[in-house]
Structure 1
Amino acid sequence: FIQTFKNVSGLLQRALSSVVALGANIICNKIPGLAPRQRAICQSRPDAIIIIGEGAQLGINECHYQFRYGRWNCSALGERTVFGQELRVGSKEAAFTYAVTAAGVAHAVTAACSQGNLSHCGCDREKQGYHDQEEGWKWGGCSADVKYGVEFSRRFVDAREIKKNARRLMNLHNNEAGRKLRRPLMKSCPL
């Protein structure tokens, strides 16, 4: 009986994962503007795509806020892709939008991991169990795993850059600048 239950349970798990995978394929194929590597990440990590979208929106909102009184107020950023409408011209505005979007995705993934809202990640393991004998305290909280959020942002956001040209290098540089800018903020600011 127990062996039969295990076999049925295994069949149900495989069937359920097939349904989830099929749903992820359908959903990920309908998201406009994803590069092939991004689509693959979406299909393998469907729980992350909502978080990525929230992070991209966070970046767009920050862009609107930072330029709210300027001649350009991020108005070119629309709803065409998960990252908004891309700016086609290499400009300081485009540089800022790439940086702030990469930072937004890194921040959203880091926060989701810390809150337990994303699978395959969690608290920063390096800080767990930290004990300061001189001060007489032991760390017992959940530190944000900033490295994971930054690396996930790097894998997903940078996957858009598939052409080998100067614009690609500029975009990758701007993405990294955004991720580096947010690291010091994550060390001193709560999520």
Structure 2
Amino acid sequence: MRLLMVIAILIFAMPMTGFGWAEGTNILLDPNLMCKKTRRLRGKLAEICRHDSALLKEIIINGINLGFRECEFQFRNRRWNCTVLRKSMRKILMRDSRETGFVNAITAAGVTYAVTKACTMGQLVECSCDKAHMRRNGGQPQMVTAATAEAALERQQQAAMLRQQMPLQDQHPSQRLSRMNNASTMTDIAPVEHRGGRNRRPGGRRGRRKFWDNIKFPEGQWEWGGCSDNVNFGLRHSRVFLDAKQRQRRSDLGTLVKFHNNNAGRLAIRDAMRLECKCHGLSGSCTVKTCWLKMPPFREVAGRLRDRYDSARKVTLRNDGNSFMPESPHARPANKYQLVFADDSPDFCTPNSKTGALGTQGRECNVTSSGSDRCDRLCCNRGHTRRIVEEQTNCKCVFKWCCEVTCEKCLEHRAVNTCL
């Protein structure tokens, strides 16, 4: 009996990080679990789960699957190839490694991208295009310049930030984390100035980067119009689904890191917004130019996140138990755009059931490459085998008017190098 009491005390005294991670892992691996046991849900998540089935499908299923597919593509030539095999990915997500950080960031970006696109395409009754700029002119397109467009974006950003400025104790843990690490979107506020000295603060110090710094506004006057992507709606709902069920506990570094990387993935979508324009006028002239904000291809965003994976910062818990800091005393703190991790990654060279590593045996490598897929690197210097395979390809294709292309089948020989 005494032994059972000791075991029970140890269980309740253990940090709860593992349980939270297990829940988050199950959600990513099986998105349908998000809204199960709805009686226990509260707030906006409960409302969405109970009433918005189309939104649930768009956000959870399409968004998370989009993130995983792009993860596989970005890491297809690396030792860790982001395999979606359930047992392997579950082990990866139970750690706080670089790989976990990238998976969390890319899935948060995928959810943001999917729901934003669904709004633009009119697939959801809960949202539509972003017409915030047009509302200021009675719902009609308004003529603007680069300076007035920036001012409009500034006002819109400040309005969104004011909605977030609630007492700290009333905020969601992910919002508290952002503020404690100077990573909140509220830090984006900076004076709007002319193009020559834009984003400059008095004294010559450069202000904080804003998401429209990368947008190239056209010269002269143009119209805010078209169907701008409603990325703010996507950001909010991505946060609700991926952060809502997980709560930070004191000394829970894993949750702090997860919230940070989730937010970095969402910001990668927001900060990659671009301006697209279309000319209107007789005989191909550009009498009136209409412009709107649009997301880039998701692959472009994923490539940026992969670069941030390579430069991710290792962090450790601060003494307050509510924030993290760089593990190295000489390293600069990570900003809100960078990925962070707390656990070192395995080498992924050999199978390891504890870490989820599948090894690289049998993987195809490239002897002429200078990148991560070159044979000595991918095969971990174990060597590789070479064999010649025959493949059928389309050849001698002929275009026939109208409108058909006919091809013959040709056999080609290709050398395949495989890791030992």
Q: How high is the TM-score relative to the length of structure 1? A: 0.72
The whole-number CA distance in structure 1 between the counterparts of 2:84 and 2:94 is: 10
After superposition, the C-alpha distances for 1:122-146 in whole angstroms (9 at most, x for unaligned) are: 1112233332279454333110011
The whole-number CA distance in structure 2 between the counterparts of 1:168 and 1:130 is: 44
Select which of 68, 86, 97 maps to 1:91: 97
**Partner residue in 2 for 1:168:** 255
Residues 37-46 or 151-160, more deviating: 37-46
The answer (yes or no) to whether the contact 2:35–2:49 under 8 Å persists in 1 is: no
Compare relative contact order (CA 8 Å, sep 6+) and give the higher one, 1 or 2. 1
Select which of 175, 183, 190 maps to 2:270: 183
Taking the TM superposition and a 5 Å limit, the aligned residue runs for 1:128-167 are 128=134, 129-132=141-144, 135-164=220-249, 165-167=252-254
Taking the TM superposition and a 5 Å limit, the aligned residue runs for 1:1-191 are 31-32=32-33, 34=35, 36=41, 38=45, 40-52=47-59, 53-76=61-84, 78=86, 85=90, 87-128=93-134, 129-132=141-144, 135-164=220-249, 165-187=252-274, 189-190=295-296
Larger fraction in helix? 1
The answer (yes or no) to whether the contact 1:42–1:49 under 8 Å persists in 2 is: yes
Secondary structure of 1:62 counterpart: helix
Shift of 1:75: 1.3
Secondary structure of 1:185 counterpart: coil
Residues 163-172 or 70-79, more deviating: 70-79
CA RMSD of aligned residues (A): 2.7
The whole-number CA distance in structure 2 between the counterparts of 1:163 and 1:140 is: 42
The answer (yes or no) to whether the contact 1:161–1:171 under 8 Å persists in 2 is: no
After superposition, the C-alpha distances for 1:14-63 in whole angstroms (9 at most, x for unaligned) are: xxxxxxxxxxxxxxxx9235574556532232111111110111110111
Instruction: Choose 1 or 2 for highest CA Rg.
Output: 2
Larger fraction in strand? 2
1:110 counterpart letter in structure 2: T
Shift of 1:74: 1.2
Secondary structure of 1:176 counterpart: helix
- Aligned in 2, Cα 1:136/1:32: closer, same or farther, shift over 3 Å? closer
After superposition, the C-alpha distances for 1:76-124 in whole angstroms (9 at most, x for unaligned) are: 5549xxxx85711110000000000000000111100011001211111
- Aligned in 2, Cα 1:66/1:39: closer, same or farther, shift over 3 Å? farther
The answer (yes or no) to whether the contact 1:106–1:179 under 8 Å persists in 2 is: yes
Unaligned runs of 5+ in 1: 1-29
The whole-number CA distance in structure 1 between the counterparts of 2:110 and 2:236 is: 13
The answer (yes or no) to whether the contact 2:105–2:261 under 8 Å persists in 1 is: yes
Secondary structure of 2:236 counterpart: helix
The answer (yes or no) to whether the contact 2:119–2:127 under 8 Å persists in 1 is: yes
The whole-number CA distance in structure 1 between the counterparts of 2:84 and 2:127 is: 34
Secondary structure of 1:131 counterpart: strand
- Aligned in 2, Cα 1:51/1:92: closer, same or farther, shift over 3 Å? same
The answer (yes or no) to whether the contact 2:104–2:262 under 8 Å persists in 1 is: yes
Runs of 4+ in 1 over 6 A off after TM superposition: none
The whole-number CA distance in structure 1 between the counterparts of 2:34 and 2:127 is: 26
Secondary structure of 2:109 counterpart: helix
1:32 counterpart letter in structure 2: L
The whole-number CA distance in structure 1 between the counterparts of 2:85 and 2:97 is: 14
Secondary structure of 1:31 counterpart: helix
The whole-number CA distance in structure 2 between the counterparts of 1:70 and 1:89 is: 19
The answer (yes or no) to whether the contact 2:68–2:84 under 8 Å persists in 1 is: no
The whole-number CA distance in structure 2 between the counterparts of 1:186 and 1:136 is: 20
Residues 170-179 or 69-78, more deviating: 69-78
Residues 181-190 or 105-114, more deviating: 181-190
Quick one: percent identity of the two aligned structures?
Answer: 39
- Aligned in 2, Cα 1:171/1:34: closer, same or farther, shift over 3 Å? farther
- Aligned in 2, Cα 1:98/1:117: closer, same or farther, shift over 3 Å? same
The whole-number CA distance in structure 1 between the counterparts of 2:121 and 2:236 is: 18
